[in-house]
Structure 1
């Protein structure tokens, strides 16, 4: 023995998701810690530049998936580089793995675990290690690890580097719809995006029952909206659609009960290369093999085999783009 600590010995064990469970058994998501902003002209201290920023993501995480979709839709693949972490989340947290299909080593900071990247930005950091992470190669720090803010930066601040005029003009958070988008995002986040975790990670029957009821009531609202609108805001694709899609794409869809939601998911999946950002192997393997307190034997079920490229006919729903979600609130 050389007496030199191994990487595993120097990396703290990642806090379990159970540390985010309240005394009543309800899962409570922790707040993101790094909240800096990139601006086109650099007034924030972080200037939008080609090649300067890097995304650390998991293809199994719907929050990280949002950022990959915005990067794709805005044509920023050559502007912002990406590293995909291992889908297997073990006690030391997200890891880099160049040997597993679809994953990669950390070629930016040469680390083994994502926690080490966090500690490059803040040596005293002891919070949860989450994806996505937007890293600044120039300043060698984390700019932001809040997905909702990262997608808005990608939506507007890198327009000078988009590949086409169509991509530059694409605005998924238009000024005239922002109050309505924010209002819809609020209840979709509460009851669907985070709601599925509140159901899956609940440790009491009361907490589970309440979360499930809220989840299906919210899905019913979405189904009604999508029965009359191609997207959540008429014929206009917005960030609200992307935020909803990544959660729905991560879960087993009841295509019979929610035929409009199922059509919507296929519609988004088939849009402008978005399907290329989806990796079902990572999604399934992560959720069934990483959380052993829920699935102790790590058994991955077979199916269902859904055809995300099948015809959806959502284009027939020609509704005024300013109508919005039929007045349904949270």
Structure 2
């Protein structure tokens, strides 16, 4: 979530600050922000796994024509994510050089981290929300009238309780678990986080040996949330965050599962490994003071056969895959 809101406990344990702007964009506009086409701009960074969730869900649901997307560069300073990928370093829609400007437009005394993903109200230039867990659920449930024909149901009502239960385990032990390893400041805190992470990965390996997707027989919100950590595992978390019991490529079911999703339209076409590596290895100078970015691993394995279709399942349920991403949102193809 870049510029992560975090603290370190006396025990050396990393503690993520989960205070976000809770305002929601809803069909009935009860928080003052009704769902509208062309009113809002989703701000992400390719590097950030939390922002990656929103980018994937937007793609799968086909919201590109009604919800524009701005992309920050992979490296930021202590103040803010910046739009250094854009001409003159200014977002072409919001006309600001730093995401911080949209936060301060909403609250000049905003005291918390400047995080992505964030959704900005374009007319006012103010951040509406950066509450990443709720954001993707709302894209699925509140933006329904703008979903593309054939959009999948990523949060089916009959499976919501199980999706929420699995997602909470994945968040605690895996999504946030890799950060609890990487930013631990004591040996004991690190080892505790490490053990929890790999115990949960073993649990997921067993679960996904027998089934194609985490919950039900189609892609759901739970898969999106797990994918964004797993796709970064070997490139970043294994070495940089010391999550090195084994690589993702050494866990057969999880490696095949993540390749299956990577090769599914809407997933791999949001991933830029160069930006992912640059962010972690350059920004986290407390962990990597030389700021040297590793040359590997070789990404070509992501395109190898996964054979997951043999487990059954229908990726999009009764729906269809999304079309190609807009030209200005394409990521470099793997060699």
**How many residues get paired?**
302
Matched, 1:226 2:213: no
2:213 and 2:313 in contact (8 A); partners too: no
Deviation at 1:162, TM superposition (A): 2.4
When normalised by structure 1's length, the TM-score is 0.86
Cα deviation digits, residues 229-272 of structure 1 (max 9, x gap): 00012422110000000011112072453111011111111112
Mean alpha-carbon deviation: is it higher for 89-98 or for 277-286?
Answer: 89-98
From 112, 129, 132, the counterpart of 2:97: 112
Matched, 1:138 2:138: no
Matched, 1:56 2:43: yes
From 123, 134, 146, the counterpart of 2:108: 123
Structure with larger Rg? 1
From 21, 45, 50, the counterpart of 2:8: 21
1:184 and 1:240 in contact (8 A); partners too: yes
Mean alpha-carbon deviation: is it higher for 248-257 or for 48-57?
Answer: 248-257
Mean alpha-carbon deviation: is it higher for 18-27 or for 304-313?
Answer: 18-27
- 1:30-179 paired onto structure 2 within 5 Å: 30-98=17-85, 105-164=90-149, 166-167=150-151, 170-179=152-161
1:234 and 1:318 in contact (8 A); partners too: no
Cα deviation digits, residues 65-95 of structure 1 (max 9, x gap): 0000010000111111111112112232311
Q: Which residue number corresponds to residue 318 of structure 1?
A: 312
Deviation at 1:287, TM superposition (A): 0.7
Matched, 1:263 2:245: no
* Separation in structure 2 between the aligned mates of residue 82 and residue 24 of structure 1, nearest angstrom: 40
2:54 and 2:136 in contact (8 A); partners too: yes
Unaligned stretches of 5+ in structure 2? 239-246, 316-335
Deviation at 1:135, TM superposition (A): 1.0
Unaligned stretches of 5+ in structure 1? 1-14, 322-330
2:79 and 2:114 in contact (8 A); partners too: no
Partner SS state of residue 308, structure 1: helix
Q: Which residue number corresponds to residue 303 of structure 1?
A: 296
Partner SS state of residue 43, structure 2: strand
* Separation in structure 1 between the aligned mates of residue 44 and residue 204 of structure 2, nearest angstrom: 27
